[in-house]
């Protein structure tokens, strides 16, 4: 199999057309290029003379919806229906398909796929429309201003013809730098409740192709015999027993000595052979701590003066102000390591073409990462390395490691061969849970002073945890003055108008490896902020909704939008009036540019079992390009937050991860949440994040409901803090 | 049954239906209901969920919500599409 990428792939797709119009967009998202020649290899939309319209999707699809959402933008501006557009995942090219929020780097993350692409894809679609219309106007001898494209037909001045008719002529025009974008009043697909996902049909009939589905002719399967303690190195190994396994090919230590690569004819043989290999590990530099020791390190850091003053507050004055308050609320929180545990474990496949090019088949979340690493590993220029992006079976952050961990592993396994056979690297679930990357273990210590009227007088906040960014290639851009914002995001920058707030930070030693995990720092900062706000409201004898709104009374957009989702969720959840026997909890948080409020209503008791009866959410994410995907993502993000808060944690014993698979790392189950609904605040603002913002408020809303049953949970998971679930 | 927990030898001589064979053109009521309710997100677990639901409906064409919960709780979805799975099974049952 040769590289079905870049130009060859495009021409193949457009094989039935006699001419193709390619329209691109440069990195600034405005200026565009077009043409039907070989010079235009990396378009955003390509239109064949047969009328076929293909949107090129620069983000990977893990279920969050960019294949549909970005196609929607092209279809809307061009003037075709969703039935008339298809999509392909873009090749790796950080200059053309970069994430506009990340710099010259192609990647998906931080809930930015729609937010960074919003103007870029609309501009590309609008340019294609204008060029086709100009060609039609010339052909018909009429004024272009009277023409439009609707449902794939160029229409006006008493004429009508399929848009493909004008592709050849349109391709000779120079594109405009400022094409007219359709006015929101013209939108038929954006914001339409009836707009369906383009990838649903293939996901219900077995046609969807994930990385794990790749089966190239003559491929070998490689699994890695991994160190039980992160950082262990191979000192020696014995594969004599593996040689008895049918289908075993060979075993070799990775050049990094981080494991032994086991090559086999198929996955089952690789699993059996790997189990039969004995490895002598050098654990002198390996992680050896237990979870209890990691927790002690965090707690010790919270009990000393913070190293970093995050918001440059006068910390001594704020400590004094808290001390002098009429009432002081003090709470210490702890959040354990968590695994991402996407349904599809890590995997990717590498092959070399007859021309010596390297092709990576991967559910690639950050193509630029492996693309750069492969240039070094294979000593090839960038244009000799191709990444074919496949559907990904979830990620939650896991597929985007700064060091491109599993792709590099596969490349190292491949370079040790003669490259005549493709190599498919397969992780199993146990590899993923034990040898992967974790949400950092983090602690917070908060002291809130209330005045005699129950208002917040001062707020002293200290965080201790492992920095995600330090020690990675992202440190230079993500760490400022020693402060990794991903540890403290959502605290000092919270829209609440909290007076006299100090935020301190101390980094603790990294345990095993840490990584962004759906909503990153907000997973713990939102919990602490919203539980403390709830405690403050309780201590003041005030309604939690009214109390929060009092700190969102400013006329700035941040305050208004955060208050807006609170008011909407309160109305939709019938706040203050739960069903008989039930209690409600409320939380709200801004993350990734969006605002989400949630009400969790539960029945039962912590002793006999809590049942989550209903969760109602309200989200303000700017323009909801696809309202149903916004709802689906919010539902999923809530479930992700709730499931982990209920009962999930990763623990270490002597440096080794104790969990291995879903029986001991039990995710959310179908019975855990009886009902869930999401309401969207109408907005004319540009789209902001959707994949993650639903997660942060979910756990604190549940905790605040349980607090109404006289149990305040400040450490997760809840099942270890006296909460049982029905 | 879970294909990952069954060896091929154990189904020797039996008829086996996988997601690819559920319908020739993706029009089984469960497939149509999954699209109508926009269930799949990443989609990786969906084949298993659909086949589990197909087995349920072939034994019990009109399951209660508790019966759906009981049967479908054997499968996991990390994207959290559970409440839509309920709706899709109920929709398929009503239209089968």
Mind listing the domains of chain A with CATH numbers? 6-204 (3.30.365.10), 212-284+346-426 (3.30.365.10), 291-338+438-720 (3.30.365.10)
| Mutant choice from B42, B48, B49, B64 vs A, greatest count of A C-beta within 10 A | B42
Least confident of A173-177, A319-323, A575-579: A173-177
Q: Which residues in chain B are contacts of A197 at CB distance < 8 A?
A: 38, 40
Segment A664-692 mean pLDDT: 97
Q: At residue A582, does pLDDT exceed 90?
A: yes
Identify the band that residue A41 occupies on the pLDDT scale cut at 50, 70 and 90.
Answer: low
Rounded to a whole number, what is the distance in Å from the CA of B13 to chain A's nearest CA? 23
Mean pLDDT of chain A: 94
- Cα dihedral sign for A511, A515, A518, A519? positive
Judge whether A613 is closer than 8 Å to chain B, CB to CB.
no
Q: At residue A511, does pLDDT exceed 80?
A: no
For chain A, the farthest-separated pair of C-alpha atoms sits apart, in whole angstroms, at 82
Least confident of A176-185, A251-260, A444-453, A606-615: A176-185
pLDDT at A16: 54
Q: Which residues in chain B are contacts of A344 at CB distance < 8 A?
A: 42, 44
| Interchain CB distance below 8 Å, A200 and B77 | no
Segment B36-45 mean pLDDT: 97
Judge whether A246 is closer than 8 Å to chain B, CB to CB.
no
Convert the pLDDT of each residue in A68-95 to its tens digit.
Answer: 999 999 999 999 999 999 999 999 999 8
Judge whether B73 is closer than 8 Å to chain A, CB to CB.
yes
pLDDT at A25: 65
The beta strand positions in A451-582, using DSSP E, are 456-465, 479-480, 483-484, 501-507
Judge whether B60 is closer than 8 Å to chain A, CB to CB.
no
User: Residue A430, SS3?
Assistant: helix
Residue range B25-95 forms a domain whose CATH class is: mainly alpha
Q: Closest chain B residue to A615 measured between Cα atoms? A: B83
pLDDT at A509: 87
Q: Which residues contact B21 (CB under 8 A, 6 or more apart)?
A: none
Identify the band that residue B8 occupies on the pLDDT scale cut at 50, 70 and 90.
Answer: confident
Q: Which residues in chain A are contacts of B69 at CB distance < 8 A?
A: 670-671
Identify the band that residue A11 occupies on the pLDDT scale cut at 50, 70 and 90.
Answer: very low
Share of chain A above pLDDT 90, in %: 90
User: Residue A236, SS3?
Assistant: strand
Identify the band that residue A435 occupies on the pLDDT scale cut at 50, 70 and 90.
Answer: confident
| Interchain CB distance below 8 Å, B19 and A676 | no
pLDDT at A269: 98
The CA distance from A590 to A521, in Å, is 12
Highest mean pLDDT among A101-115, A165-179, A296-310: A296-310
| Interchain CB distance below 8 Å, B41 and A637 | no
pLDDT at A12: 32
pLDDT at A34: 56
Segment A163-172 mean pLDDT: 91
Judge whether B48 is closer than 8 Å to chain A, CB to CB.
no
| Interchain CB distance below 8 Å, A393 and B86 | no
Identify the band that residue A5 occupies on the pLDDT scale cut at 50, 70 and 90.
Answer: very low
| Mutant choice from A59, A68, A200 vs B, greatest count of B C-beta within 10 A | A200
Q: Which residues in chain A are contacts of B35 at CB distance < 8 A?
A: 196, 200-201, 204
Segment B79-91 mean pLDDT: 97
Write a three-state SS string for chain B.
CCHHHCCHHHHCCCCCCCHHHCCCCCCCHHHHHHHHCCCCCCCCCHHHHHHHHHHHHHHCCCCCHHHHHHHHCCCCCCCCCHHHHHHHHHHHHHHC
Convert the pLDDT of each residue in A343-381 to its tens digit.
Answer: 999 999 999 999 999 999 999 999 999 999 999 999 999
Write a three-state SS string for A620-650.
ECCCCCCHHHHHHHHHHHHHHHHHHHHHCCE
pLDDT at A45: 92
Token pair belonging to A54: 């293909």
Rounded to a whole number, what is the distance in Å from the CA of B50 to chain A's nearest CA? 8
Identify the band that residue A9 occupies on the pLDDT scale cut at 50, 70 and 90.
Answer: very low
| Interchain CB distance below 8 Å, A391 and B40 | no
DSSP A391: B
Judge whether A643 is closer than 8 Å to chain B, CB to CB.
yes
Q: At residue A22, does pLDDT exceed 90?
A: no
Segment A251-279 mean pLDDT: 97
Convert the pLDDT of each residue in A491-502 to its tens digit.
Answer: 999 999 999 999
Q: Which residues pair with A596 in a beta bridge?
A: A589, A619
Q: How many residues are recorded in chain A?
A: 726
Q: At residue A307, does pLDDT exceed 60?
A: yes
Q: Return the residue matching tokens 């993502």.
A: A633
Identify the band that residue A17 occupies on the pLDDT scale cut at 50, 70 and 90.
Answer: low
Rounded to a whole number, what is the distance in Å from the CA of B74 to chain A's nearest CA? 9
Q: Which residues in chain B are contacts of A691 at CB distance < 8 A?
A: none
Q: Return the residue matching tokens 């049954």.
A: B1
Q: At residue A535, does pLDDT exceed 50?
A: yes
Q: Which residues contact A457 (CB under 8 A, 6 or more apart)?
A: A321, A322, A324, A325, A326, A449, A450, A451, A499, A500
Judge whether A60 is closer than 8 Å to chain B, CB to CB.
no
Segment A219-237 mean pLDDT: 97
| Interchain CB distance below 8 Å, A669 and B19 | no
Tell whether ipTM is more than 0.95.
yes
Segment A271-290 mean pLDDT: 96
Least confident of A97-106, A203-212, A489-498, A647-656: A97-106
Q: Which residues in chain B are contacts of A673 at CB distance < 8 A?
A: 82-83
Q: At residue A28, does pLDDT exceed 80?
A: no
Judge whether B35 is closer than 8 Å to chain A, CB to CB.
yes
pLDDT at A13: 37
| Interchain CB distance below 8 Å, B40 and A200 | yes
Identify the band that residue A203 occupies on the pLDDT scale cut at 50, 70 and 90.
Answer: very high
Identify which of A201, A662, A675 has the shortest CB distance to residue B35.
A201
pLDDT at A19: 77
Q: At residue A129, does pLDDT exceed 90?
A: yes
pLDDT at A291: 95
Convert the pLDDT of each residue in A637-668 to its tens digit.
Answer: 999 999 999 999 999 999 999 999 999 999 99
Q: At residue A4, does pLDDT exceed 50?
A: no
pLDDT at A14: 39
Q: Which residues pair with A507 in a beta bridge?
A: A465
């Amino acid at each position: 199999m040769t590289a079905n990428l870049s130009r060859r792939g495009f021409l193949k797709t457009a094989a039935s057309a006699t001419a193709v119009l390619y329209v691109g967009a440069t990195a600034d998202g405005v200026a565009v290029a077009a043409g039907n020649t070989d010079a235009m290899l990396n378009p955003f939309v390509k239109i064949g003379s047969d009328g076929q319209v293909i949107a090129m999707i620069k983000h990977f699809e893990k279920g969050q919806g960019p294949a549909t959402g970005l196609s929607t933008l092209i279809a809307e501006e061009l003037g075709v229906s969703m039935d008339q557009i298809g999509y392909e995942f873009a090749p790796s090219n950080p200059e053309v398909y970069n994430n506009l929020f990340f710099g010259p780097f192609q990647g998906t993350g931080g809930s930015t796929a729609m937010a960074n692409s919003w103007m870029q894809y609309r501009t590309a679609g609008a340019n294609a429309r204008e060029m086709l219309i100009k060609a039609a106007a010339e052909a018909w001898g009429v004024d272009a201003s009277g023409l439009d494209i609707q449902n794939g037909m160029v229409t006006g001045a008493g004429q009508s013809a399929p848009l493909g008719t004008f592709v050849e002529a349109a391709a000779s025009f120079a594109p405009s730098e400022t094409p007219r974008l359709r006015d929101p009043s013209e939108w038929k697909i954006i914001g339409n409740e009836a707009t369906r996902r383009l990838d649903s049909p293939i996901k219900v009939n077995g046609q969807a192709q994930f990385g794990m589905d790749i089966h190239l002719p003559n491929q070998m399967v490689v699994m890695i015999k991994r160190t039980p303690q992160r950082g262990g190195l191979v000192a020696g190994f014995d594969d004599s027993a593996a040689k008895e396994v049918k289908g075993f090919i060979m075993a070799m230590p990775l050049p990094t000595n981080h494991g032994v690569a086991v090559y086999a004819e198929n996955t089952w043989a690789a699993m059996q052979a790997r189990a039969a290999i004995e490895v002598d590990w050098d654990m002198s530099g390996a992680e050896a701590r237990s979870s209890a020791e990691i927790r002690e390190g965090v707690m010790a850091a919270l009990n000393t003066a913070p190293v970093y003053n995050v918001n440059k507050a006068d910390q001594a004055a704020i400590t004094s102000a808290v001390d002098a308050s009429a009432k002081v609320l003090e709470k210490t929180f702890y959040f354990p390591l968590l695994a991402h545990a996407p349904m599809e474990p890590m995997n990717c496949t590498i092959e070399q073409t007859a021309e010596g090019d390297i092709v990576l088949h991967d559910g690639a979340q950050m193509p630029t990462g492996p693309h750069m690493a492969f240039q070094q590993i294979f000593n090839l220029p960038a244009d000799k390395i191709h990444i074919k992006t496949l559907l990904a079976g979830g990620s939650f952050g896991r597929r985007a490691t700064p060091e491109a961990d599993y792709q590099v592993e596969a490349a190292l396994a491949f370079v040790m061969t003669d490259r005549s056979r493709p190599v498919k690297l397969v992780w199993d679930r146990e590899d993923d849970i034990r040898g992967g990357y974790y949400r950092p273990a983090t602690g917070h210590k908060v002291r809130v002073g209330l005045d005699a009227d129950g208002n917040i007088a001062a707020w002293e906040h200290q965080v201790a945890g492992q920095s995600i960014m330090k020690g990675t290639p992202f440190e230079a851009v993500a760490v400022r003055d020693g402060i990794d914002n991903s540890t403290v995001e959502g605290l000092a920058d919270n829209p609440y108008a909290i007076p006299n707030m100090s935020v301190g930070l101390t980094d603790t030693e990294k345990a095993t490896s840490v990584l962004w995990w759906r909503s990153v720092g907000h997973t713990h900062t939102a919990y602490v902020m919203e539980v403390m706000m709830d405690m403050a409201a309780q201590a003041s004898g005030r309604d939690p909704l009214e109390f929060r709104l009092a700190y969102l009374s400013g006329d700035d957009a941040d305050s208004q939008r955060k208050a807006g989702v609170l008011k909407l969720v309160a109305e939709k959840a019938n706040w203050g009036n739960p069903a008989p026997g039930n209690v409600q909890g409320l939380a709200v948080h801004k993350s990734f540019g969006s605002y989400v409020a949630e009400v969790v209503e539960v029945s039962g008791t912590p002793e006999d079992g809590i049942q989550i009866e209903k969760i109602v959410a309200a989200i303000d994410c700017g323009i909801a390009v696809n309202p149903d995907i916004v709802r689906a993502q919010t539902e999923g993000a809530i479930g992700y937050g709730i499931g982990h808060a209920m009962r999930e944690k990763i623990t270490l014993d002597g440096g080794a991860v104790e969990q291995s698979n879903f029986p001991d790392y039990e995710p959310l189950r179908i019975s855990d949440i009886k009902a869930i609904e999401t309401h969207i605040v109408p907005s004319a603002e540009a789209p902001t994040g959707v994949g993650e913002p639903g997660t942060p408020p979910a756990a604190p809303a549940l905790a605040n409901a349980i607090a109404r049953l006289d149990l305040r949970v400040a450490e997760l998971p809840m099942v270890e803090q006296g909460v049982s679930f029905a | 049954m879970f294909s990952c927990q069954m060896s091929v030898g154990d189904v020797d001589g039996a008829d086996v239906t996988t997601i690819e064979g559920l319908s020739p053109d993706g029009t089984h009521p469960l497939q149509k209901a999954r699209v109508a309710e926009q269930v799949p997100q990443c989609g990786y677990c969906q084949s298993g969920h659909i086949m589990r639901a197909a087995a349920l409906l072939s034994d019990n064409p009109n399951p209660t919500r508790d019966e759906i919960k009981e049967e479908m709780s054997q499968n996991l979805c990390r994207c959290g599409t559970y409440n839509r799975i309920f709706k899709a099974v109920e929709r398929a049952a009503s239209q089968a």
